[in-house]
Amino acid sequence: MPSSQQNATFLAPAHVLCVQVATGRVSRQDRRRQARELRAALRETPAYQGARGQKAVVDQVGEDGLAVAFFGAAELAVACATEVAGALMRRGETRVSAGVHGGPVRRAAELWNTRGVEGPGAALAHDVMACGDTGHVLVSETTAIRAMDAPEWGDAMSDLGPVEVQPGLPLRLFSLAHGDVGNRSIPTRVKQLSAARAALRPTHNLPPARTRLIGRDADASDIVDRLETSRFVALTGRPGIGKTRLALEVAERLKSRRPGGVWVVDLSAVSVASDVPSTIARTLGLLALDSDPSLDRAELFLRDRDALLVLDGLPDVVASAGESVERMLDACPRLWLLATSAIPVGGRAREAWPVNGLPSLRPAADADPALLRDSAAVELFERRAYEADRGFRLTDEAFRAVADIGVAVGGSPLAIELAAAASAHASVEEVLSGLRESIARGKHAGADTTPAVVAWAVEAAAESDRTILQSLSVFHGEFAMSAAQAVCESGDIDAGQVADGVHSLAQRGLVAERDGPDRYRLLRAISAHARTLAASAGAADLLRRRYAKYLGTCSRELLEAAAGDVERVLEWATEHDRELGFRIATNAAASWHDRGEWARCARWFDILCDRREGVTVDLLAAALTARSRARLELGDPDGALRDADDALAHSSSIDDREGVALARRAKGQALVSTGSVQEGMRHCEEALASLRRLERPEEAAVTAAELAAASMLAGDAAKAMAYAADGLRVDGGEQASSSLLLLRGIGAARSRDYAHAREALAEALVVHRSVGAERHEASNLLWQAELAGREGDHHAAALYHSERLYVVQRVGGRTEIAEALRSAGVSSRRGGRLGDARRFARDEERLRTQLNQPRETTRVRLLLVDIEVAGGDAAVAREALTRALAHDVEDGERVLCLYAFGTVAHLSELYDEAATLFRAAAKWRDEDDLGDGDALERMYADTVTEARVGLRRDMESDAYDRARAAGQAMMPEDAMAYGRARLTV
C-alpha cells in the first residue's frame, strides 16, 4: 500500500495489521462504500481507539483492505485484528483475511505527519496475510511471541511452523482463532509453501517401497527397538539374503523418529577405505573440497543432528573403513548407524544382527497347501510370480514345488524372486528341477546357493540378453537406457534390441528398475556374476572403452546421472586412451565448475596434461581453458593466466574461433583477479563479441556475468547491472541466468536501490534453487540479510543468515562455516533470538577451537558475553566473561574486552565502573568510528550506545563525569586490570 512521504521519515519498530476483503468484480461506487465501512469498522474498535489515545497508531485504508501500524504493545495489533474481522462479519462480510507482523515501519518524528504505512514490516505483514485463506487471521512470530504472554491470546494461537512468506525468509506463523473469528484449518498456501520448503531441504533419501516386506516384520520391529539403545547395528548375512531390503524397512520406520535425517549410503561401488568418507559426504549433499577432508565435513554436518545413516555394503570395502565409522560415532553423539554386511563386523559400539533366510517348510507328500501358503518363502514367490504374470495361479501340487524351492535356496529372497520371475517362462516344477541341477552342479547345497541361482537365472535368459547383461557389468551404480545402449550396441545388437533386452532382464529380476525415469541397476550378486562373464569373454576393456566414449559426449544431465562412475572410467582412460580421458574431463568440467569442485577439476587436468603427447590441439586447448578457471578459483591467478595464454595460442594455431573466445575470456578472468581489471574486461568484451557472432548464447551469457562481476569489483554498480541485464536478454540457460540475476540484485543493493534489490534477489533465489546453484544461493541470502539489517529488520536478517548457514554447511569449508556461524549468531542476537544466537555461538566456538584460531575463539566468546548480557542474568554473563578472558587477549581485542566489561558492569548495576570502562575503551578508539568494523564490533557499538543512554539516566551527572574522567586517564592494560578486579573476573 504505497504512498509518498511528505516529511523526513525513519524506520521504527511496529506491529502491522493488514486486512483484506475479497471483493470480486464490483463497481467503483461499491468499492468506495466498502472503504468507508472498513474505516468505520477499524476506528470503532477498542484496540484502535486505545492506541490512538496513546498517539501510537497510523492507518491506511484502501478500497479492498487496510493497513494499521501500532507503535506499541503487540496485544493491541492482535486484538484489533479480531475486532475488525468480527465487526466486518457482523455486517455480513465473510470474505475477510488478516495478517499481523512486527517489523520496521517508516514514520515521521511527529507521528501525525506520517502518511501511509510503509517499510519492510508492512510488506511482510501483507505477505503473512496472503498466506491465509478466507477467515484466517495469521500472526507472525515477531508479534505472536510478545502477544502470547497474555493468556487470552496464548490459548488462541496454533503454531503452523516456519513458512517461507518470501523466498529465503521462513517466518514462523500462528493461526489465531478467538471466539467466532478465525479459521481453524491449515491454510492452503501454507500447505503449499511447507511442501516446497520440505522439497528444498530433504531429510531422507529413502526410495519408495515398491512392495511390502514379507516375512521380516518381527525382525524389523526388533531392530527398530535395538536402534533406540545401540548406536551401531550391523545386519550380517550372505549376498541375496535381503539385508538391504530389511535395512530400508527399518530406516522407513525410523524416519519420523530421526528429525536430523535418514540417509542411505550406497558403498557397493567403493573399493578402498579412503573413499568411504567422501561417499558419505556426497550422499549428504556436501560439496567435495580439498581444503577440508570429507570426514571432517561430514562430522561437522552431523554433529548436532539426531540422524540415522544406513551404510549399505560397509565391509565389502576394507576393514580399515571402520576407523572412519568409529570416529563419526565419537564426534556425533546423536548419530545412529545401521550397516549391512556380507561378513560379521567387529569392533566397539557395534551389535551384529544375523539375517537368515525366510522361513521355509519342507513339505510332506500330503502337506495341506493352505499351511504352505502361510510360509514367507511361498508368499514371496507367489507375489513376485503374479507381478511377472498377472494370470499366474498356484495349483496344490505347485505349492509343494514352491515350498521345495524355498528350502533348496535356503530362504534367500533374491533366489526366490529370480525363481518366481522364471515361472513366467516355465512351470514351477521345471523351475525347481533347474534350480536343483544348478545347485548340485555348483556344489552349493547346504551353503550359499545364491551364486548358483544367479548363474541358473542368467543361463535361462536368451543369448542376446546374456550378452547385454554382460555389457551392463561395466556400470557400478545406476545407469540410464542411453548409457546401456552406448555400451551394448554392436554389429549384432542395435539400440532397440538393447532396450528390449534390458526390459526382458528386468522382467526376469536380473536388472532392477529404479525410482527415477529410465533408471536401472544391477544388484551386487548379479553384477559380480556379469563381471565374471565379461572377464571370461575378454570384453572388459572393450566395454570400458565404449563407456568412456559415452561419458565423453553425453549431455550434462546424463553425465550427472553417471557421476559415480566418471572418475573410475577416467582412471582407466588415463592409462589406456589419453584422448578419451581428455574428452571425458572436458565434458565433466562444466559439472565440476557448477558444483564448485575446483580441486577435483584441477587434479584431473594436471594428470592429463602431464601426458598430453598425441592429444589433438583442440582438446588440449579446451583442457587448458578449463584448468585455468579451476586454478583461478583455487587462488592461483598466475597459473590460471599461463593456462589461458597457452590455450589461446593453441586455439589460434588451428583457427578455432570458439576456442579463442573461451580462452580469451579465461585470460580476462585471470587478469581481473591479478588486479588488471580494465585489461581483463577488455579481453572479456572481445570474447563476448565473438561468442555472439558465433551464436553461442549460453557462453555469451556466462561472459556477460563475468563482465558484470568485474564491473562490481571496479566499483561500477551501474555498469554491472547493465551487463547483467544484457546477459539476461540472451537465452543463455538457467545456470547463466542464476549468476546474472544474482549480480543484478547485488548491483541494485550497492546502488542503494533497496526495493529493486529485494525484488531481483528474490527472483534470483528461485532460480538458484531450481538449478541447484548453492553457492549463488549462499551469496544471495547473505545480501538479503545485509539489506534487512540495513533497514533495521534484524529479525529478518537473522532468518536469512540461518538459511544461509544451512547452505554453507553443504558447500563451504570449515572456516567459511565458522564465518557463517558468526554472522548467524550476531544477527540472531540483534534480532532478539537469543536461543538461536547462543547455539550458533557455541557451535562456532567449538569449531574455532578445532581450527586453532585463538583470536576468533576469543571474539566468539565475547559474542557469548553480549548474548548473556541481553539475557539479563548478571551471574551467567560474568561466567561468560571469565571464559572469554581465560587466555591471553591480543591487543586488537582489548577494546572489545573493555566494552564487554562495561556491559556486564552495567547489567550488574555497577554504574561507576561501567562508565569508567566505556570511556577507557573510547579513548583508544575514536567514538565517531564506533561500529565501522565487522558485524560483532557494530553490534557491541550499539549495545554500548544503549548502555550509555541508560547510565546518563541512572547516574548523577557529577558522578558520571567523574567516572568518565577516571577512564580517560587509564591505559588499556590498566583498564583491563581494573575491570578484572571490580568484576572479580
Q: Based on DSSP, count helices (H) and strands (E) in the chain, helices before strands.
A: 46, 15
The answer, yes or no, to whether residue 30 has pLDDT greater than 50, is yes
Instruction: Tell me phi and psi for residue 513, to 5 degrees.
Output: -85, 130
For residue 4, what is its C-alpha cell? Answer: 509518498
Instruction: Tell me phi and psi for residue 773, to 5 degrees.
Output: -85, 80
Question: What's the pLDDT score for residue 772?
Answer: 87
Question: What's the pLDDT score for residue 892?
Answer: 79
Edge-to-edge strand list for the sheet holding 519-521:
479-480, 519-521, 512-513
Lowest mean pLDDT among 327-331, 581-585, 849-853, 892-896: 892-896
- Separation CA 289–CA 294 (nearest Å): 7
Q: Buried (b) or exposed (e) across 112-127, using 16+ Cβ within 10 A?
A: eebbbbbbbbbbbbbb
Contact 894, 976 (CB under 8 A): yes
The answer, yes or no, to whether residue 3 has pLDDT greater than 60, is no
Average pLDDT over residues 757-774: 93
Contact 204, 261 (CB under 8 A): yes
- Find the radius of gyration of the CA atoms of the chain: 34
Q: Does domain 217-354 have CATH number 3.40.50.300?
A: yes
Chain segment 716-752, per-residue pLDDT in tens: 999 999 999 999 998 888 888 999 999 999 999 999 9
Of residues 64 and 346, more confidence is placed in: 64
Contact 94, 104 (CB under 8 A): no
Lowest mean pLDDT among 126-135, 383-392, 778-787: 383-392
Pairing of strands 351-354, 157-166: unpaired
DSSP single-letter state for residue 358: P
Question: What's the pLDDT score for residue 782?
Answer: 97
CA angle 902, 788, 718 (to 5 degrees): 120
What CATH code is assigned to 592-763? 1.25.40.10
Is residue 450 classed exposed, middle or buried when 0-12, 13-18 and 19+ CB atoms within 10 A define those classes? buried
Lowest mean pLDDT among 56-65, 430-439, 624-633: 56-65
- Separation CA 924–CA 897 (nearest Å): 12
Q: How many CB atoms lie within 10 A of CB 827?
A: 29
- Separation CA 574–CA 838 (nearest Å): 51
In the chain, where the domains are located: 9-198, 217-354, 592-763, 853-983
Lowest mean pLDDT among 79-88, 167-176, 355-364, 643-652: 355-364
Question: What's the pLDDT score for residue 370?
Answer: 65
Is residue 706 classed exposed, middle or buried when 0-12, 13-18 and 19+ CB atoms within 10 A define those classes? buried
Q: Closest Cα partner for 594 from 644, 549, 635, 556?
A: 556
Pairing of strands 232-236, 157-166: unpaired
The answer, yes or no, to whether residue 302 has pLDDT greater than 50, is yes
Chain segment 689-711, per-residue pLDDT in tens: 999 999 999 999 999 999 999 99
- Separation CA 165–CA 546 (nearest Å): 50
Question: What's the pLDDT score for residue 89?
Answer: 83
- Separation CA 733–CA 744 (nearest Å): 16
Average pLDDT value over all residues in the chain: 90
Contact 477, 436 (CB under 8 A): no
CA angle 94, 100, 104 (to 5 degrees): 145
For residue 591, what is its C-alpha cell? Answer: 559439472
Question: What's the pLDDT score for residue 344?
Answer: 62
Question: What's the pLDDT score for residue 35?
Answer: 80
User: Looking at the domain 9-198, which fold is it?
Assistant: Alpha-Beta Plaits (3.30.70)
Chain segment 241-278, per-residue pLDDT in tens: 999 999 999 999 999 999 999 999 998 877 777 788 88
DSSP single-letter state for residue 841: H
pLDDT band for position 145 (cuts 50, 70, 90): very high
**724 HSE (CA, 13 A, CB side):** 26
* Residues contacting 210, CB < 8 A, separation 6+: none
Q: What is the 3-state secondary structure (H, E, C) of 619-680?
A: HHHHHHHHHHHHHHHCCCHHHHHHHHHHHHHHHHHCCCHHHHHHHHHHHHHHHHHCCCHHHH
- Separation CA 334–CA 307 (nearest Å): 7
The answer, yes or no, to whether residue 318 has pLDDT greater than 60, is no
The answer, yes or no, to whether residue 373 has pLDDT greater than 80, is no
Instruction: Tell me phi and psi for residue 791, to 5 degrees.
Output: -95, 10
Residue 199: strand pairing partners: none
Average pLDDT over residues 111-120: 88
The answer, yes or no, to whether residue 930 has pLDDT greater than 50, is no
Question: What's the pLDDT score for residue 595?
Answer: 74
DSSP single-letter state for residue 263: E
Identify the residue whose cell numbers are 504374470: 389
Instruction: List Cα–Cα distances, 588 to 519, 598, 605, in angstroms.
Output: 20, 12, 11
Q: How many CB atoms lie within 10 A of CB 807?
A: 23
* Residues contacting 228, CB < 8 A, separation 6+: none
- Separation CA 178–CA 767 (nearest Å): 40
What angle in degrees, to the nearest 10, is found between the helix axes of 874-884 and 894-907? 160
What angle in degrees, to the nearest 10, is found between the helix axes of 450-460 and 463-472? 130
Contact 919, 968 (CB under 8 A): yes
- Separation CA 827–CA 936 (nearest Å): 9
Q: Closest Cα partner for 401 from 436, 425, 442?
A: 436
Question: What's the pLDDT score for residue 613?
Answer: 86
Q: What is the 3-state secondary structure (H, E, C) of 153-222?
A: HHCCEEEEEEEEEECCEEEEEEEECECCECCCCCCHHHHHHHHHHHHHCCCECCCCCCCCCCCCHHHHHH
Instruction: Tell me phi and psi for residue 925, to 5 degrees.
Output: -150, 120
Contact 858, 821 (CB under 8 A): no
Contact 903, 869 (CB under 8 A): yes
For the chain, what percentages of helix, strand and coil (3-state, to nearest 5) are there?
Answer: 65, 10, 30
pLDDT band for position 453 (cuts 50, 70, 90): very high
Of residues 456 and 892, more confidence is placed in: 456
The answer, yes or no, to whether residue 368 has pLDDT greater than 60, is yes
| Element housing 15 (H / E) | strand 9-21
Q: What is the 3-state secondary structure (H, E, C) of 673-697?
A: HCCCHHHHHHHHHHHHHHHHHCCCH
3-state secondary structure of 479: strand
Question: What's the pLDDT score for residue 445?
Answer: 46
- Separation CA 875–CA 862 (nearest Å): 15
pLDDT band for position 23 (cuts 50, 70, 90): low
Chain segment 524-571, per-residue pLDDT in tens: 899 999 999 999 999 999 999 999 999 999 988 888 888 778 989 999
Instruction: List Cα–Cα distances, 953 to 869, 911, 948, in angstroms.
Output: 19, 11, 9
3-state secondary structure of 956: coil
Quote the pTM value.
0.89
Question: What's the pLDDT score for residue 659?
Answer: 97
Q: What is the DSSP string of 743-775?
A: HHHHHHHHTT-HHHHHHHHHHHHHHHHHHT-HH
Question: What's the pLDDT score for residue 926?
Answer: 53
- Separation CA 50–CA 903 (nearest Å): 36
Question: What's the pLDDT score for residue 925?
Answer: 67
Question: What's the pLDDT score for residue 604?
Answer: 94
Average pLDDT over residues 962-974: 92
Question: What's the pLDDT score for residue 293?
Answer: 86
Q: Closest Cα partner for 875 from 865, 884, 860?
A: 865
| Element housing 312 (H / E) | strand 307-312
Average pLDDT over residues 653-673: 97
- Separation CA 453–CA 463 (nearest Å): 17
For residue 292, what is its C-alpha cell? Answer: 577440508
Question: C-alpha 774: how far from its chain's center?
Answer: 8
